[in-house]
Amino acid sequence: MVGRREGDDTTKLLEAAASVYAPEATFLFRDPDVSEEGLSRLAPFTKDMSLVDGLAAAYVCHDRACDSPTTSAQALIAKLKETNP
């Protein structure tokens, strides 16, 4: 997920992600205003992830591929449920 730590849009996506039972999921968070060199080394695929139209965006990745980002809490919940039945 990419978003500004204090943003309402970020909070909505984080709450949506936390509402889905996904015990084997790993969640990564990147604030575009903060240098995240450690995260980029650990998960290089995150370096090109960005906000979408200035809004927090969630990227659901599975099987070594990431879906298109979503800025919608409802869409994120649906994607997580689909990926973690």
pLDDT tens digits, one per residue of 27-83: 999 999 888 788 888 888 888 899 999 999 999 998 888 999 999 999 999 999 988
pTM for the model: 0.87
Residue 40 has what pLDDT? 83
* Residue 2 within any structural domain of the chain: no
* Residue 21 within any structural domain of the chain: yes
- When divided into structural domains, the chain yields a total of 1
What count of residues does the chain have?
85
* Residue 1 within any structural domain of the chain: no
Q: 3-41 pLDDT, tens per residue? A: 999 999 999 999 999 999 988 889 999 999 888 788 888
Report how far residue 29's alpha carbon sits from residue 3's, in angstroms, rounded to the nearest whole number: 8
* Residue 3 within any structural domain of the chain: no
**What's the domain range around 66?**
8-83
* Residue 18 within any structural domain of the chain: yes
* Residue 77 within any structural domain of the chain: yes
Residue 3's SS3 state is coil
